[in-house]
Structure 1
Amino acid sequence: MNAHQPAQTSAEWFKSSYSSNNGACVEASRSEHGMAFRDSKNAAGPSLAFSAATARSFIDGVKTGQFTPSS
């Protein structure tokens, strides 16, 4: 994982399909090196960059509920 400051301004960012309309949005960007994620409310702020394999593993974990807090 790499933290970038400021966010990758030349990248094409898109809103995550998991983002809600309540302002809690995550944007993602693909590159030849993997994926980066940032807070849509702070586009000039930091982003987190991951290799393609790490990003895929994280996304698969989100889809299967691996990061859902237990009640």
Structure 2
Amino acid sequence: MGKKEKSSKGKLRKLPKTKCCVSKKRCDRCPIRMLKEGTLPEGYTVKKRELVRVDGKKVTKKRLQKVA
């Protein structure tokens, strides 16, 4: 089901969702939770429950996999 990506350090890492599902119990891939824990990839942040790039470019899953 869920794919885990390898980072350059060799440990498995989950990719964040592009939009928060607004559940009471935050899921493992929730961008809000990942931002709070500091596990969100560099160059990304969360605004209005959606994952956005700091530089303003469009968020795509392909770019997200490269960063993570």
Which interval holds the TM-score relative to the shorter structure?
under 0.3
In the superposition, the TM-score normalised over structure 2's length comes to: 0.27
Q: Look at both structures and tell me which one has the larger radius of gyration over its CA atoms.
A: 1
In the superposition, the TM-score normalised over structure 1's length comes to: 0.26
